[in-house]
Amino acid sequence: MKHLTMENITERFLKYVSYDTQSDPKSNTTPSTEKQWELANYLVGELKDLGLKDVSIDENAYIMATLPSNVDHKVPTIGFIAHFDTSPDYTATNVKPQIHKNYQGEDIVLNKEHDIVLSPSYFEDLLLYKGQTLITTDGTTLLGADDKAGITEIVSAMEYLMAHPEIKHGPIRIGFTPDEEIGKGAHKFDVKKFGAEWAYTMDGSQVGELEYENFNAAGAVVTVHGKIVHPGYAKGKMINSMLIASDFINALPKNEIPQETEGYEGFFHLADMQGEVEKTTLEYIIRDHDKTLFEKRKIVMLETAKEINQKHGSQAIEIEIKDQYFNMREKVEPVMHIVDIAEEAMKALDIDPLIKAIRGGTDGSQLSYMGLPCPNIFAGGHNFHGRYEYVPVESMIKATKVIVKIAELTAKKY
């Protein structure tokens, strides 16, 4: 595409990842961290400078803007959405991206001092990108391609469409959100104000990914109560909450954990544990694509706690389970033409669509239940939430082209 260059995409992406926008699951504010405002305010200024219309940012840092239609007939308003926060799982302070041109399938030394290596022997997807330009971390932080690659692509696509009025399109709304990584990205998203009939989140990984199914998700806090007494006189008196917690952990299905599952298989994931004799807290996430199996997983946790409590003759274990989001398939299937348009756009650009279920969730899953059907499209990054994260520049360019083509096809079909 004319004026859509490696240099422009790279420069924009590197600017975005220079901002530390890590979110905080323990915060009660929106955004959950004050530092997210810095990139949010920068983006607002950039969108205004590009000439987009109706640029706004609300009190919770939700950003919206419009690219007006350039056709004289009515076309549905469509949207493109990405999030600007990064995962709380790994530091995003002082990101130092490294650029590797003409990658040939070799090991990439991210950090020689600490012997941190990004290797295709472990991350096989690297071999898909021979001959391309990769942007990686320096091994000490995450990169932030999740989802600053998505923002890069959306802004670049709007800029390109404005520079090429010969490409006909209807009205396009764009939205950037905080706190997606802590499951709150859509909580305060004003769907009515956004005003789109449907949208796409640019938040997937490998080139070609097109997803309209995701996990049903819940979080569970398991609190185990014990009793502390002097260990020298503990016989028949001490109740060690950590040992009871261990019983609970071991009672759940051992092969239904993230590292043992794939595809549509669900899991129980012990994400955090804090313990001492008197009290131990376990934090789980519960995931399954199938709604019935998802509900059964919650029952398994409750029944396991009940059995252990009966064994100890007390209410040693308490569980609080909260649903987080649901499988968007239920909301997207009645409007499958929005997936068909994205698939057609990819094929028109010689990109093989990889239609599969997300082993996770996006803002789109929640937005779909809020009345905005919202499939997910690849943004190009890999190995999110850690030091091995990388993104090929060519993948970001392809994602940008997909956005442009979706806009063009929508205008032609209506």
Q: What are the tens digits of pLDDT across the range 365-405?
A: 899 999 999 999 999 999 999 999 999 999 999 999 999 99
Q: What is the mean pLDDT of the chain?
A: 96
Buried b (16+ CB within 10 A) or exposed e, 188-201: bbebeebebbbbbb
**pLDDT above 80: residue 160:** yes
pLDDT at 2: 53
Assess whether pLDDT exceeds 90 at residue 308. yes
Question: What is the rounded average pLDDT of the residues 162-188?
Answer: 95
**Percentages (nearest 5) of helix, strand, coil residues in the chain:** 35, 25, 40
Helix (H, G, I), strand (E, B) or coil at 5: coil
Which pLDDT belongs to residue 386?
A: 95
pLDDT (tens digit per residue) in 53-68: 999 999 999 999 999 9
Q: Which CATH class is domain 6-214+327-413?
A: alpha beta
With a cut of 60, say whether residue 1 has pLDDT above it.
Answer: no
Mean pLDDT of the region 286-297: 96
Question: Which pTM does this prediction carry?
Answer: 0.89
pLDDT for res 170: 98
Contacts of 26 (CB under 8 A, 6+ apart): none
3 state SS of 80: strand
Read off the tokens for 47: 């969108």
Rounded CA gap, 378 and 392, in Å?
12
The conformational region for residue 385 under phi > 0 = left, psi -120 to 50 = alpha, else beta, is left
Give the domain ranges of the chain: 6-214+327-413, 216-325
Average pLDDT over residues 164-171: 97
Query: If pLDDT is split at 50, 70 and 90, which confidence band does 261 have?
Result: very high
Would 6-214+327-413 and 216-325 be classified into the same CATH topology?
no
- At 79-112, the pLDDT tens digits run 999 999 999 999 999 999 999 999 999 999 999 9
* CATH code 3.30.70.360 for 216-325: yes
pLDDT computed for residue 61 by the predictor: 98
* pLDDT more than 90, % of the chain: 93
Please name every residue paired with 125 in a beta bridge, in sequence order, or none if there are none: none
In this structure, the dihedral spanned by the alpha carbons of residues 356, 361, 364 and 370, taken in order and rounded to 10 degrees, is 120
- State the catalytic residues: 85, 180
